[in-house]
Amino acid sequence: MTNAASPRVRTTRRSALTPRAAVLAAMVALVVASVALPLRDLVAQRNRINDLRDREAVATSELKQMNVEIARWNDPAFVAVQARERLHFVVPGEVGYVVLEPDTAPVLYQAAVSKQRSQSWYAAMWDGMQAAGMAATPGTKP
Per-residue 3-state assignment (H helix, E strand, C coil) for 74-114: CCHHHHHHHHHHHHCCCCCCCCCCCCCCCCCHHHHHHHHHH
Of the pLDDT bands very low, low, confident and very high (cuts 50, 70, 90), residue 87 is confident
Could you report the per-residue pLDDT of 33-48, keeping only the tens digit for each? 888 888 999 999 999 9
pLDDT value at 135 more than 80: no
CA–CA separation, 31 vs 28, rounded Å? Answer: 5
Helix then strand then coil, in percent of the chain rounded to 5, is 70, 0, 30
Q: What is the pLDDT of residues 49-68, one digit of tens each?
A: 999 999 999 999 999 999 99
- The single-letter code of the amino acid at 29 is A
Please say if the pLDDT value at position 104 is more than 80.
no
Q: What confidence category does residue 88 fall into, taking pLDDT thresholds of 50, 70 and 90? A: confident
CA distance 78 to 72: 7
Q: Give me the mean pLDDT over the 75-97 stretch.
A: 88
> 16 vs 1, which has greater pLDDT?
16
Look at residues 26, 29, 27 and name the one whose alpha carbon lies nearest to residue 37. Answer: 29
